[in-house]
Structure 1
Amino acid sequence: MHSLPLLDVAIIVLYLIAMILVGVWFSRKNKSSEQFTKASGMIPGWAVGISLYATFLSSNTFLGVPGKAFGSNWNALVFSLSMPLAAWVAVKYFVPFYRTSGGVSAYSHLEHRFGAWARTYAMVCFLLTQLARMGSIFFGIALSLQALTGYDMTTIMMVTGICIVVYTVMGGIEAVIWTEVVQGVLLTFGGLLILYLIITNVDGGVSKIIDIGMRDKKFSLGTLDLDFVRPSFWVILLYGFFINLNNFGMDQNYVQRYHAATSAKEAAKSVWLCVRLYIPISLLFFIIGAGLYAYYVQHPELTDTIRLQAAAERLPSGASQDEVVALSNTLKAEDYGDKVMPHFMVSKVPLGLLGLVISAIMAAAMSTISSGMNASATVFTEDIYKRYIHPSSTNKQALRVLFIATAVFGVLGIITGISMIGVKSILDVWWELSGIFAGGMLGLFLLGIISKKAGNSDAVIAVIVGVLAILWMTFSYLVPGEYSYLRYPLHANMIIVVGTLVISLVGSLLANLRKR
């Protein structure tokens, strides 16, 4: 870390060592698969709630949200505003269901409802979603640390990935939850510190940030027109509701924490605590984005530097300076928004505090990635290993598979992150991929709840129709121009909405027709 002061390097190293030591400490308890996956149901609700909050607050939030607010407006904040309704549905229906079902896997009950294929299908969708999530977060942390340290992104992903793998494999879900409590506090502190530094560096302070934001419409939540082609208020609201319903309702990361809580009541409290923490803190990061926009409006020469850097990264290594300048002149704010926060941190965060802020960004990444690794390993062990490979496995064998699977999914997450190098917006990539993978899974789950009449054959046909619809919506942009009328006309964030509704409604309709 040659470009960082020694004090900041020491803080980051100490933080990484502390996280590994947490894994070592909790490794003494991991004598059974139940302890590794559910912490034997002994975690208090407030800790589970902060852990859920930290899982939401990934490095995508720390870097992607300010970058999105810098490049466009507060339209993406509507995603957070959809959380209370999704949380209400989860607390009323999903939390009691999972606490009474007993199975640690979120998808085992689908086999009882529709057959083994349904469980396998949902499990595959979840694992793909987790790989996309972990990859986008690895990419986000590497993007930030590259600007701060000078190391290449691949090296950063591998080093941070190894640290995450070590403490997650050793500590299990209990280590993940308690480290997420610390990481959630650290991340919140980092966000508040960044906001304070922005306000003190903008000439005119808060009032000037508001003036510039109002002038350039940075506080807009999107058009209220019923427009589903552009990212309107309603598109993001619908997308946020379905994604958050998927998160709270059938994402293994969250379902596992419901089981880790001491009771169903404590699990329900944890969901509401997560919502109460996340909404104001997500607003904080949108305010940071607006503040960064005002700061760089006042310092256009710094904006030119960032734009040149973004252009250089998009061109081959042998590109001339004239080519870099020509490309930089064509870039818009949304094309380099993700690079603004790291640039500000390098230039304005004082000695010692920079190490804390970098640790906060790493905490954001590590909390979500470790959750994804643990949940993915649990799903693999419960829904693949115990179901198909070794149904009569002993507790010791299952625990060994959990260790190995956790490490494997960590490596796959790193590989996915490396493959994302060069994308325009972290937040956009994650939103699009999660919408594609989660839509079919949520649709099938809702079909099982909404329609008591729906049977195996109804669900099979509904999923086939839904998957075909999702594939068409995702890849129809490849249709040649002369057949443009065959392209999907709505915004990409509507894929999860349409895909979910197609599966649940088609299945319900078939069940009713068959009944008649």
Structure 2
Amino acid sequence: MSGSSVTSSFAVADYVVFAVMLLVSAAVGVYFAWTDRKQRSAGDFLTGGRRLTALPVSMSLSASFMSAITVLGNPAEVYRYGASIAFYAVSYVFTMLITSEVFLPVFYKLSITSTYEYLELRFNRATRLMGTMLFIVQTILYTGIVIYAPALALNQVTGLDLWGAVISTGVVCTFYCTMGGLKAVVWTDVIQLAVMFAGFLTVIIRSVVLQGGVINIISDSQQGGRLNLLDFDPNPLRRHTFWTLSIGGAFIWLSIYGINQAQVQRYIACKSMTQARLSLFINLLGLWSILLSSVFAGMCLFSVYKSCDPWTTGLISAPDQLMPYLVMDILGGYPGLPGLFVAATYSGSLSTVSSSINALAAVTVEDIIRPYTNFSEKRLTWISKGMSFFYGILCIGMAGLASFMGGILQAAISIFGIIGGPLLGLFTLGILCPLANSKGALSGLFSGMALSLWVGIGAQIYPPSNALSQPLPLSTEGCNFTTAHGSNWTSSTLPIQNFTSVAPVHHGDKWVLTDLYSLSYLYFSPLGTITAITVGLVVSILTGGYNLKVEPSLILKKEDTTIYHFIKTFTGRIKRRSGHLDLKKDREMTFGNANPAFSDFELDLAKSGLS
């Protein structure tokens, strides 16, 4: 494939496969709208009546934030920077353990629909409204990008109609969220997760066949420096190392699984806390599977184009187009299979957008409408459906706005993570620090937000100019093909590249902000979290936090953690065993040990109090 250019485009069969995925998703919404037509409360619509089980919820959790950016972005990341992103697997473990032990027990026992309701119960209404507004702004911005970015990448490579794809996916999402509520969102996520795996497997299997086996792909990746899995450099300025991905990544994913409305709304919809905890750990297997699939797809991408990089040669204009280019290159002759990959890509978009729409409707009804009105549950149910429809249309509009943002897209995605860090610090203050008061909470939130935004925006304006964040080398030595313009091209003369690069910034004398702006982007979230907690605690102490009386249900209690119950059970067994040995010793001193079997019977009588 290194010596050919892609000229194929979408066939009728590809459009059919893509359309079937959309129709099935819409049908799920109709089904749950019919089966739950007698819903009497907004809570049932937004939380599925809290009767869901672990398996579908876990699959929905896995799909929710594995967007099209994951399907297209992760393989491109491996292609350009190597497979070190596999270390995210470690951050997933930390995330699920901390979410299960710290955040889940508090949120589940309170039976709240919106996570931001907790902020009012713990601090005050101003804190709740601030958290709600930050969530709404970041989610609308992110959701618009999730719809538009993959549509643009696929349009430029496959010829799939850009606005037809944007509007159709947005409309279908809005439809089944409005009709079926959380149940529809969860079950469509299950279907879409299966489609995502099918898309990845199609590309991987075909690549393995073309390259002569898995061993050859691994060997190519090793020789190309892509298997950089032993990078334990603690330098925080390095873009991706074991430490940045496992520690920084854990903070980012905690801000999603621990406190983000879209994820919390799912696991508190389970019918018991045991089911909720189980859903988190089954979801861990799903996250690992998606990560492994995307990393290996990136290795396949490199193996196929190791001698002729389509980005350097100008055949594509952005890294996100690498996977669609590969699909059309190796699967273009198999009608329907490119459509399956596009369906997989949009399944990632649908799962993320539907989760966001449902979460936005929930926080709007619970945090902004319900506290200030006396509407009946029936009316609130209709308002919930109306808000789902409203946010769906708004997200489609945001996708239109994203089309004019150009290079700001990546910055907007970074800001999504930056905002999550201070919010994570705010919730952590409330749950783990009994002396934290409302003054400390708001001070910590604003401080964390100011610092993380400052560093994040500074990194966009003054990007790192050193070798710590540069992509791995790519080759064009094997290129020799006819371009779409009809002229023969060889590696000795590169065509004009239709992408722009940012010139390195020279700072002159070294100053402290140079290193701060060069900080790995994965540390922006920990920076905001730690700042929010530190400032919040200091301000709380200075404003009388020691005298604060907090409702016990709003603070994590050791009795609510599985670790406490494990230790209690373990020590109980040791005590029982110790008591057993003491009784046995007393018996041997009294009766001797001539008949051990009879003595054990006597021991049982002694333990029961009958001897």
Question: Which bin holds the TM-score, normalised by the shorter protein?
Answer: 0.7 to 0.9
Q: TM-score, normalised by structure 1?
A: 0.87
1:242 & 1:281 partners in 2: Cα distance?
20
- Matching of residue 511 in structure 1 with residue 540 in structure 2: yes
Q: In structure 2, what is the equivalent of residue 375 of structure 1?
A: 359
| Shift in CA distance, 360/99, structure 1 to aligned 2, threshold 3 Å | same
Deviates more, 1:122-131 or 1:337-346: 122-131
- Matching of residue 444 in structure 1 with residue 426 in structure 2: yes
1:120 & 1:18 partners in 2: Cα distance?
37
Q: In structure 2, what is the equivalent of residue 84 of structure 1?
A: 93
2:175 & 2:330 partners in 1: Cα distance?
33
Could you tell me which of 30, 38, 45 is aligned with 1:24?
Answer: 30
- Matching of residue 215 in structure 1 with residue 197 in structure 2: no
Could you tell me which of 446, 449, 458 is aligned with 2:440?
Answer: 458
Q: In structure 2, what is the equivalent of residue 232 of structure 1?
A: 240
What CA deviation, in whole Å up to 9, does each residue of 1:151-182 have, x standing for no partner?
45344212221111111111111111111111
1:81 & 1:197 partners in 2: Cα distance?
29
Does the residue aligned with 1:76 lie in a helix, a strand or coil? helix
The runs of 5 or more residues in structure 1 that have no matched partner are 312-335
Q: In structure 1, what is the equivalent of residue 587 of structure 2?
A: none
Does the residue aligned with 1:231 lie in a helix, a strand or coil? coil
CA contact (8 A) 2:239 2:520 kept: yes
1:355 & 1:205 partners in 2: Cα distance?
25
Q: In structure 1, what is the equivalent of residue 45 of structure 2?
A: 36
CA contact (8 A) 1:81 1:279 kept: no
Could you tell me which of 163, 171, 184 is aligned with 1:175?
Answer: 184
Could you tell me which of 102, 105, 108 is aligned with 1:93?
Answer: 102
- Matching of residue 469 in structure 1 with residue 421 in structure 2: no
CA contact (8 A) 1:253 1:371 kept: yes
CA contact (8 A) 1:59 1:364 kept: yes
Q: CA RMSD in A?
A: 2.5
More helix by share: 1
Structure 1 residue 51, shift from structure 2 partner: 1.0
| Shift in CA distance, 132/237, structure 1 to aligned 2, threshold 3 Å | farther
Work out which of the two has the higher radius of gyration on C-alpha atoms and give 1 or 2: 2
Query: Identity over the aligned pairs, expressed in percent?
Result: 26
Does the residue aligned with 1:260 lie in a helix, a strand or coil? coil
1:251 & 1:185 partners in 2: Cα distance?
24
1:486 & 1:180 partners in 2: Cα distance?
43
| Shift in CA distance, 418/198, structure 1 to aligned 2, threshold 3 Å | farther
What CA deviation, in whole Å up to 9, does each residue of 1:285-332 have, x standing for no partner?
11110111110124x2xx347842434xxxxxxxxxxxxxxxxxxxxx
Q: In structure 2, what is the equivalent of residue 190 of structure 1?
A: 199
Q: In structure 1, what is the equivalent of residue 474 of structure 2?
A: none
- Matching of residue 433 in structure 1 with residue 439 in structure 2: no
CA contact (8 A) 1:51 1:178 kept: yes
Q: 1:367-406, aligned counterparts within 5 Å?
A: 367-388=351-372, 390=373, 392-406=374-388
Structure 1 residue 128, shift from structure 2 partner: 2.7
What CA deviation, in whole Å up to 9, does each residue of 1:361-409 have, x standing for no partner?
2222111110111011111111111134x2x121232122222221222
CA contact (8 A) 2:79 2:299 kept: yes
What CA deviation, in whole Å up to 9, does each residue of 1:207-234 have, x standing for no partner?
2222221122112147422211221322
What residue identity is the alignment partner of 1:212?
A: D
Q: TM-score, normalised by structure 2?
A: 0.74
Q: 1:55-94, aligned counterparts within 5 Å?
A: 55-94=64-103
What residue identity is the alignment partner of 2:316?
A: A
1:474 & 1:55 partners in 2: Cα distance?
25
CA contact (8 A) 2:452 2:528 kept: yes
1:15 & 1:154 partners in 2: Cα distance?
18
CA contact (8 A) 2:10 2:159 kept: no
Q: 1:236-275, aligned counterparts within 5 Å?
A: 236-275=245-284
CA contact (8 A) 1:90 1:245 kept: yes
Could you tell me which of 359, 362, 386 is aligned with 2:343?
Answer: 359
CA contact (8 A) 1:306 1:340 kept: no
Deviates more, 1:46-55 or 1:10-19: 10-19
What CA deviation, in whole Å up to 9, does each residue of 1:391-437 have, x standing for no partner?
x12123212222222122223323333444475798x5575122222
- Matching of residue 125 in structure 1 with residue 109 in structure 2: no
Does the residue aligned with 2:63 lie in a helix, a strand or coil? helix
The runs of 5 or more residues in structure 2 that have no matched partner are 1-7, 463-504, 547-611
What CA deviation, in whole Å up to 9, does each residue of 1:49-100 have, x standing for no partner?
1111111322122111111111111232222320111111111122221221
1:474 & 1:93 partners in 2: Cα distance?
28
Q: In structure 2, what is the equivalent of residue 9 of structure 1?
A: 15
Does the residue aligned with 2:314 lie in a helix, a strand or coil? helix
What residue identity is the alignment partner of 2:17?
A: I
Number of aligned positions between the proteins: 484
